Structure formats: C-alpha cells, structure tokens
A and B are shown apart, each in its own frame.
Chain A
Amino acid sequence: MATFAKGVVFEGVDFDDPNSWRLEEYVKRGGYAGLRRIADEKLTQDQIIAEMKLSALRGRGGAGFPTGLKWSFMPRSFPGQKYLVCNTDEGEPGTFKDLDIIWNNPHALIEGMIIGGFTMGATVGYNYIHGEVFEAYERFEEAIEEARAAGFLGANILGCGFDFQLHAHHGYGAYICGEETALLESLEGKKGQPRFKPPFPASFGLYGKPTTINNTETYASVPYIVRNGGQKFLELGKPNNGGTKLFSISGHVNRPGNYEVPLGMPFAELLELAGGMRNGKKLKAVIPGGSSAPVLPADIMMNCTMDFDSIAKAGSMLGSGAVIVMDEDTCMVRALERLSYFYFEESCGQCTPCREGTGWLYRVIHRIEHGHGRPEDLDLLLSVGANIAGRTICALGDAAVMPVQGMLKHFRSEFEYHIENKRCLVDH
C-alpha cells in the first residue's frame, strides 16, 4: 500500500522501517510534543477546545461533525466518571485507513486520546478495534504498554496532575459495532445494537456516563493541532475542511491504498496519485465515501474536489474517505447487488424497517441481476427505500438505502436494460 507521507496522521512515518511505529521513533519525529506543550505551557481545556474549533477538524469516521464542537458538548464539570472512546471498528466496505494508523503510527492515536482525555476530563479511554485485524490490535496493545512505561499513561501524566488510562478492546467483526452507541453496548459486554438517541453519549454514554467517541483518524490528528496550532492545520486544507485526510482508494486503479492528502484536492489529482485507471480503462463511476455513500458518475466526480462540502454538493458524502473507483466494465446492477447484500447481512435486526427492508431490497436487486426483474421493481426499490430511510434507530438503514438511490439516480437505464434484456449492459 502506498501512502503519501507528508500529512498529519502519518507525519514523518517511515513505512519501510519496521520500527517506525515505536514510541522512540514517534518521539524522534516530534511525537508527544503536543502533550508536553500542554504540560509546559499549562494550556487549559478551553484553550485546547478553541484550537480544535479553529482547526476545522471534522470527524473522520463518516459524519464529518466538527470535532471541537463535539468536545465542547462534553459536560466537563460533571463530577463523576467520564469516558473517552476511540472507534477503530472500521467495517465499511472500502475503508481501511484506521488499520494503517494503529499499525504504522499508533502513538499519534494514543497521544490524541490522552489530549482528548485531558481536555474533557475523562480519565479512562477505550479503543474499540475491529475484530478482523488482530495483529494490529496486538501491536496497539504493545504501543499502549510503551506509553505506559514512558509515563504518558497512568497517574499524574507529565506532572500536570492529570490521570489517564487507555485500554484496547477488540470486537468480533460486526459492522454495526462501528455505530457509536452499538459500539458502547458491545464495549459493555452486551449485544452490539444501537441505542435510541437522545440521550446522546455526551450525557449518557459508556456505562451511562458522559462519553465522547471519535474516530481513530480524528484522534490521530489532534497531536498535530496542539503542537502546531489550529490555524496551521486549517491551512493544510480549506475553510470548514481543515487539515489532511486519509483516502482509502480501492477498485480499478493501478495503485490502490491509503493516501493522506490535503482536503480540497481535486479528485483527478487523487486518481493520478493512485496511478490512474487500471489497464487504461475509462472511469465510469466513483463511490466517494465508503459503500454507503451514493455513487457519482465519472463526469460529476472529475469536477469534484475531495472535501466534505464539494462531495456533498455533488449529491454524495465524503464519509470515511473510502474511494471506490469503478471502470467502464463495471455492471452497476451487480455492484449494487453486492452492496445491498452487505447491508442485508450486517443489519443488526433490532428495528423493523432495516431488519425487514434490507432483505427486501437485496432480494429484488438479486432478482434483477439474475434476470427475473420486473419493470415495476425500480419504483418498488425506491418506495421500500423511502420506508426505511429516516425511520430507523441508527443510520444503517439510511446507509443501506443511499447506494440504491444513488445507483437508480445515475444509472437507472442500466437497470432497465437488465430487466428488459435479462443481461448486463456492459461486458465483463
């Protein structure tokens, strides 16, 4: 996997050095300086939150919620236990960036969480790691031990009277546990099912205590901001879209992998970084933000820049930054069938529209793909989708519907062809 190494999250990381992830190397490249700055300059919680807001760092897990604002929601004066949770349960098809962070630069995450703990008055943190990346989980445990041994975790960190403990926890691969409240349930030892909100985790989170949950990449961006100031981070990207972002590029490109680039980079440039289209084929469509983001056809995509606002304007989402590139030979019916199968399998089954509706969507698309489609099926898909979207406890229902809506919006004719001719429009 290739990675653009001059960013924030991977700043200074030597991907060819097997020890680059270690604490010693991390410190050499400026690691834990952010934490030291807090200790030396006696930064206050409010000052850090102000820097976070200034940086325009937006949540890297998919929703793109401003991190500084989220941190300010935490009731810091609440006298009881508060928790900090990191969501490394990346299960969205197309997304593989957080794995690279805990594998190549775990201390950036650890430092970011310590700073988060200090800022929000949480003394215990958990990192919930996806169940299918066990080696990375073990390395992260090792990194925690290093940090503990160096005094960055534990009691009275760097003499500033602040205690913080961090624990890693690995899940068992259920996609739904990436939903933050399902993650909390799972962390508590229960079946991973989303909670109804409100109450939100900031008031009723882990074990019912105020909790802030951020994505791995979000936390890993924090040390840079504290070290260099929010303004510098903001300037890396563009207004309202501060900093760099990891894009996991997969599909029909020459060099799939993670690329850390400034937010706002034109898509064409990113595609170039990934080596361009495989076998010289033409770009057909892109799913710009993980499997739940609506697909965008090539012409729209080539005019987009890679940031939250541009992609939203084009009718999709930057999401987690998983860019799935599809060339001209891709059958959109088959692609959607595969996507729908994923959501059908991963629905937690708790609430009715998603439990029943995702199976319905998949079966109809499956039928179309296998030559048993009916003309009225496309309207049925949209109607069933409308009955799921916005009616469920969590966003998985929406996530299952958006690919369907996106595909039918931009590639409806291909579906109609499939229904009529009982075969694909493209040769593959």
Chain B
Amino acid sequence: MLEVEIDGKKLTVPGGSTVMDAANSVGAYIPHFCYHKKLSIAANCRMCLVQVEKAPKPLPACATPVTDGMKVWTHSDSAVKAQAGVMEFLLINHPLDCPICDQGGECQLQDLAVGYGKSASRYEEEKRSVVNKNLGPLISTDMTRCIHCTRCVRFTEEVAGYQELGMPGRGEHSEIMSFIGKTVNSEISGNVIDLCPVGALTSKPFRFSARTWELSRRKSVSPHDGLGSNLTVQVKDHQVKRVLPLDNESINECWLSDRDRFSYEALNSPERVTKPMIKQGGVWQQVEWTVALEYVANGLKSIVADHGVDSIAAVATPQSTLEELFLLKKLANGLGVQNTESRLRQHDASFATAGVQWLGQSIVELAESDAVVVVGSTLRKEHPLIAQRLRQAVKHGMKVAAVNPHGDDMLLRLAGEVVTRPDQLVEGLLAVLKATVEIKGATCPAHIDTSHTEITDVARGVANILAAGERASIILGNLAVQDARAAEIHAVAAALAALTGATFGVLTAGANTAGAELIGFNAAGDVFATPKKAYVLLGAEPDFDTANPVKALAAVEQAEMVVVLSSFQSCAYDYADVILPVSPFSETSGTYINMEGRPQSFNGVVRPLGDTRPAWKVFRVLGNLLGLHGFDYGTSEEVRDEALAAGVEARLNNNAVAHVHVKARAAGNGLVRLAEVPLYQSDVLSRRAPSLHATVDAQVAETLRANAATLAALGVAAGDKVKVEQGGTAELVVALDARLLDQVVRISAGHPLTRDLDSAAALQVAKA
C-alpha cells in the first residue's frame, strides 16, 4: 500500500494505482476525456494534468503511478492553468456547433468547457473541418467535432477485439476512420457512441429525435439473451427514444450489445397491434377487450369440453416475463391443460435436466475461470457480452477453447479448437473426453462408449487445457442446446466436467429461459409434433421461433382455435382466431431470470400503446372469466413473489434427468446444414428493428455459406444464387466461409428467407 495526499486528503492506495485511481477513490474529480476505466491508458488528451510535488511539470493523472508519499493537487493554480490551456487547444478547432449537435447537453467537452473554457476564443485562424465517415447503419459521424481521444479506437481493438477504427494521418491531419470502404461491424459497436466524449460519434437511429434533457431515464432489463443486461431506457412522450447501458459490473459492466441497444426501434414500429381483434367469417374485426376475452374464455372451455385437456397447448417464448409465464401456466393448469412449453427451438425432445439450466456459476465467476471450453456456440452472436468478458479474461491468462460446428473467429486468442460437422458435435466432444480420460488416467463413465472414437491432436489440445485448469468451466451454447443430439452433447460435456472438476454451465438462450424452467413451464416437449385443436401463443411466432417452422405453421393452421397474444402484426392473421395486443417488455412490469439464476425485476418504462395491455393482466382477467381460483393479484410483484416462493438457487441444476447412452456415430457423407438462428432474428423485437437489419451481420445471415471445396463441389461461387431444397425451397446468395468443414452449408434458421425449409428433411443445393 502507498500513502498519497490528494488535495490535502491523506489516503492509502494499492501499489500500481495511478493518481486518477487515487483521486477517484476519494471522490476528487479530475477532468478528463481520453481516460476510461475499461480502456488502456492513452494519456493523449492531457486534460487531467495535475500538480505533483517535486515534479517540474504538470503530470497526467491517468498515467502517473502513485509513489509513496506523493502529494497531488488536482485544482491548484498550476493544475487548473494546465487544464485550461488544454481546454483552449481542444476548442480551437472544435466547431462549437452545440445547438445543432446531438451530443448537446450530454457532452463532456461542453460540460468541461463551462468549467475550464473562456467565453471568447483567442484563436482567430481558420478552423479545421473533417470529412464524415460512413461507419454503418448504427453510428453517425460528425468528425469535425472529434477531439482525437481515441476511446473508440481503443474500444474496437481492446473490447470488441478487432481494430475497426484507427487514427491515420499525422498532426492536425489525424482522423478517426474505419478501414477504407468498410463500416464498423462489431456486434457491440454501439458502445463507441457512449464512449465518444463529444458529438463526433452519435446514434444514427436516435439522431435528432430528442434532446437529452427532454428524456426521462428509466431502468429496465434487456429482453434478448440470457445475460440480462441492465438498461437505462430513455423516454419522451410515452415513447422509447433510446436505450443506454446501466452500469452493472456483475452483468453487462458498462456495455451493451447492439441488439440490446437498438432493438427498441421495434417498440415504435408501425407493425404494432394496438386493438384486440377477432376473425369472424374470415374477416378480422376490431373488438373491445371484454368481447375478445370472453371469446377466448368460451373458446378454450368448449375445446376442453369437446376434445379433452390434451387438445390445447400454451406456447410462449423465453422473452416472456416470469409473471406472464407463471399466470399462463396457472391458467392452463386451471383448465386441466398441462401442455405448456417455451423450449420451441429445441430439436432433441429427449434433452432434459433435473433442474433449471444455468451457467453453473455467476458471470463474474465464469470470467475468473482459468480455462473455459465453449461447446456449440456462435458466442459473439449468441452472447456478445459474454464473448467480450472472455476476451478480457484471456488477456489476463484465461485459456479459452471451443468445440464447435463452425470456426468463427471469437476475436480472442483461442488456446484450442475442435471444428466438427454440425451432426458430429458429439463425436468432437467424445474425442476430447477420450483424450481427457487418457491424460487423467481415469476411466470413462459406463454410459459413454469411446471405443469407436479416435483422439485427434486438436481434441488432445482442448483436453490439455481443460485438464490443466484449476478453475475450469465448460459451457454449452445455443447451438449445443438446440442440436438434434443435445442430450448426448450434454452427457459428454457433463462427463468431461465431472472428470476434470470443471464447472458445467449452460448459456441460457433467452432473457427468461431460466425463469420458464424455474416455474416448470416447460412441460409439453414438442407441442407441434402432434397437432392440437387449440393453441395459445404468447409472443411466439411459429414461423420464426420454432425448431421446425414448417411443421409448426402446419400445426397452427389446422387448429380449430388459435389465440395469439402479441405486440406485433405477423402471419398470425392467416392462422389465428383472436389477436390480443399485449405489452412488450417496455410497457409492463415483470421479471427475467438470467443465466446465473438472478431474478431481475423491472417496471414498465412507458404506458401501453393504444389498447395494448400487459399480458399478466390479460391472464388475470381470463383466469377470473374462467372462474379459476387464485387470480386475484393486485400487482405483478404479488405474482412474482408467488412464482419465486420456492426460491431459485435450490432449483438450479444442470444434471441430466437420467444417464443418456452415448456412442460415436459415423459421419454422414452428404451435405449437412448448420442451421443457426442469426443474431437479429433471435426474438420478436430484434426481428423488427430496421437499423439492425441494415448491418453486415444481418446481410450475412441472408446468405448460404460454405467453404471453397464445398462451393466447388456444388459448382457455385460466392455471389451466385442457389436453390436450396429441404422439405421446402429457398433461394439464397452464396458466400464463402472458409472455416467450415467440407460439405457443411450454413443456412440461417428462424429467418424469413428460409422459413419454408424443414431442417429434418434431406438437403439439396443447386445453382439457381
């Protein structure tokens, strides 16, 4: 520990602290621009110059290490003079166009100029102007305002993992720019908007739609992946205008993925449904809520009476709140219906765990592991901020390995990697298991047969990493959980974890995947396999949210009654009988349980649009209409408390219900499809955010990708159009993905272009 005196206050700080750290710890504010707690020290803005005893010159607080007995003055005459001098320099070439700048009112330069700037400038020469850059659909640029702090550059390099921005040019000609002709394509790119201390980088979708001081700030939780990023939702006139991160070191830190940040566009989409509707004689009619709900109550009652309780299924997505799921299940159960399900993308009906699938540890603990093996995940796309966490941890010594049906660059230094065919993920894991058994000199669990497995060098590499880890983790991603052989993948991965003492975890796919499991919502398995007479669909879109959209659509189309509770228009007009407009996460209170088993409750941030109602209230009324007991809740908190009454922790359990016997299967020898749900098709909101769909990620999702050998064998080249036949057909443009294995074609699932494809059917690809 070092003793230091900051502005006369004595304190002790750990060795290695900077003056900035020390000042922060006593709440002494030192003005700064380039310094950011999560980025490397650049010391280039010079705004944080402070006076240090015995130093002949003012020193930058951000980069000056504290020495024992150091005395620092952050606001002495000499410090303030230096700071004011820097401020003058920063302003001479700054356009001072605050009145037309989107950053106005939330600009660090503007704020500090009040404290350190003068009312008039001594600079009377010509000012610099800088040409704007096209950084893509999310980030707007006004580069003349740039003060060259390089936070954005350091972010792309250090946090996002790939330096998409740089500062070419020298001196006054230095400019922040992307690679020539390229945009910024990171899945977490929007953070540079927050980092930019001036109005050089602002939000393109938000641009000029409101002033910061007009906005109310409300806390919420991201409704997308299993991370549960904390949000500050900014609203004006009962409309969500912008979403920013709410710092939470144990979850999202100060970051958001672009999906978290920009999906709000969907909330204000013209596709919102705002009136209850009933289809009568093939014609949709807007009706009052009472009429619609009575119709639903009577309909459900008569289906039960006519066809029995098994003829109805209640289906929800993992983006539904805990309260909604709890009441929907209670409602169904009250009618005697047991078919409730939210695992709509699961292909393997036999995959089930004894308790709620979870990360097996906290997110922070995962990042503190010394070895992590990621199994079946496009981690950067499925869980962008988990990938970011691991990227930082790798710099501090964590070893990350992957067993994946693709070779996507995680933008971190992978210590080991096994790439398999999509139908051979199990075999890839078996090779790692066999190598681990050998390394450990252990015996393989009886239910797993590795006698037909050969150990490859890459498998041994992954095994070594796992075996050497003192705090190792094995985590299953969405691709693993949604794999047709998920139960086997789970069994081998669990055996690996048991053998090496690693923590075994699941990266839960949706915002409330864990919540649905917790309240036992997932009771039916594949609800579309044997079509039902009636479906209640909560937010679920059979054509996008399901493992097999062809079958799911067929099931709802043949049903006698389909009740859709949704915020958006969709092809439900074709198959539904009733559409009830329910609130998205922004218009209702609710709770999500994230991958670490943490319930996070939130309130509505704006009032429901039009006649939209929170779904939990809809179920409350329906329960009463149906004469069921226990629907007299006053608030959603009462629902939550009942849902969580048994606690969460005790129910978290990744163990299989029963041992699954695993044995290597020979690889198929035909084309095989890697069907991943793309980043911006993951849920109803991201599907309807126009800016996200203008990104490179969204464009890539529209292509069929394969390696060069596979493309050659198919007789096609990148840019060609191909016709895909798999049950139905799709026409796609071809792109190269060099890291796929031979005969693997990567075709998005849950995507409008591929909705006619049946992932279980035989696959053929031919030039169109």
Contact = CB atoms under 8 A, between A and B. Distances in A.
A353 interface: yes
B147 A352 contact: yes
Nearest to A198: B65
Interface stretch (B83-91, B300-308, B444-452): B83-91
A352 B86 contact: yes
A351 interface: yes
B163 to A, nearest CB: 10
A33 to B, nearest CB: 44
B46 A392 contact: yes
Interface string A348-371: 111111111111100110010000
A346 B169 CA distance: 10
B86 to A, nearest CB: 5
A375 interface: no
Contacts of B63: 196
A351 B43 contact: yes
Contacts of A359: 93, 125, 128, 171-172
B86 A353 contact: yes
Main secondary structure of the interface of B (DSSP, over half): loop
A402 to B, nearest CB: 15
Nearest to A357: B89
Interface in B153-189: 166-174
A302 B167 CA distance: 46
A392 B171 CA distance: 13
Given A351-B44, A351-B45, A387 B169 contact: no
Contacts of A350: 42, 44, 148, 174
Interface stretch (B23-31, B52-60, B541-549, B566-574): B52-60
Contacts of A352: 44-47, 86, 89-90, 147-148
B122 interface: yes
Interface in B50-95: 56-58, 60, 63, 65, 82, 85-86, 88-90, 92-93
A383 to B, nearest CB: 8
A81 to B, nearest CB: 20
Interface string B111-136: 00000000000110110100000000
A391 interface: yes
Contacts of A356: 89-90, 92-93, 172
Interface string A385-410: 01100111100000000000000000
Contacts of B86: 352-353, 387, 391
Interface string A55-77: 00000000000000000000000
Nearest to B62: A196
Nearest to B83: A391
A269 interface: no
Contacts of B722: none
Q: Identify which of A352, A386, A387 gathers the most chain B CB atoms within 10 Å of its CB.
A: A352
A346 B56 CA distance: 26
Q: Identify which of A174, A351, A358, A363 gathers the most chain B CB atoms within 10 Å of its CB.
A: A351
Interface residues of B, number: 38
A349 B167 contact: yes
B171 A391 contact: no
Q: Identify which of B93, B169, B174 gathers the most chain A CB atoms within 10 Å of its CB.
A: B174
Contacts of A349: 148, 167, 169-174
Contacts of A174: 170
A40 interface: no
A208 to B, nearest CB: 13
Contacts of B46: 351-353, 391-392
A43 interface: no
Contact of B174 (A353, A355, A360, A386): A355
A355 B172 CA distance: 6
Nearest to A197: B63
Given A198-B65, A352-B148, A387-B89, A393 B171 contact: no
A27 interface: no
B85 A364 contact: no
A176 B169 CA distance: 13
B439 interface: no
A352 B44 CA distance: 7
B174 A391 contact: no
Contact of A344 (B49, B93, B171, B174): B171
A356 B58 CA distance: 18
Contacts of B667: none
Contacts of A29: none
Interface residues of A, number: 33
Contacts of B171: 344-349, 354-355, 358-359
A348 B45 contact: no
A198 B47 CA distance: 18
Contacts of A386: 85
Interface in B371-408: none
Interface in B308-334: none
Contacts of B56: 390
A196 B148 CA distance: 16
B125 A360 contact: yes
A191 interface: yes
Contacts of B93: 356, 359
B88 A387 contact: yes
A380 interface: yes
B89 A393 contact: no
Contacts of B166: 191
A390 B58 contact: yes
A363 B125 contact: yes
A407 to B, nearest CB: 19
A196 B41 contact: yes
Contacts of A348: 170-171, 174
Contact of B58 (A196, A354, A380, A391): A391
Given A346-B171, A353-B46, A390 B57 contact: yes
Contacts of A347: 170-172
B52 to A, nearest CB: 13
Contacts of A346: 170-171
A363 B123 CA distance: 10
A348 B170 CA distance: 5
B85 A176 contact: no
Q: Identify which of B43, B45, B56, B171 gathers the most chain A CB atoms within 10 Å of its CB.
A: B171
A355 B125 CA distance: 15
A353 B43 contact: no
A356 B148 CA distance: 11
Given A356-B92, A391-B82, A392-B46, A345 B170 contact: yes
A393 B63 CA distance: 10
Contacts of A360: 89, 92, 123, 125
Contacts of B85: 353, 386-387, 391
Contact of A393 (B43, B170, B173): B43
Contacts of A176: 170
B592 to A, nearest CB: 43
Nearest to A359: B172
A63 to B, nearest CB: 16
A360 B121 CA distance: 12
Contacts of B43: 196, 351, 393
A353 B171 CA distance: 11
Contacts of B173: 349
A391 B87 CA distance: 12
Nearest to B94: A356
A392 B282 CA distance: 75
Given A367-B125, A391-B49, A391-B57, 11 more contacts: A349-B174, A351-B43, A352-B148, A354-B171, A356-B90, A359-B93, A360-B125, A364-B125, A383-B122, A386-B85, A391-B58
25 contacts: A174-B170, A196-B41, A196-B63, A346-B171, A347-B171, A348-B170, A348-B171, A349-B148, A349-B170, A352-B44, A352-B47, A352-B147, A352-B148, A353-B89, A355-B89, A355-B148, A359-B125, A359-B171, A360-B123, A363-B125, A383-B122, A386-B85, A387-B88, A391-B86, A393-B44
Sort A-B residue pairs by CB-CB distance and give the 10 closest, nearest first. A349-B174, A387-B85, A347-B171, A356-B89, A390-B57, A363-B125, A196-B43, A349-B171, A351-B44, A196-B63
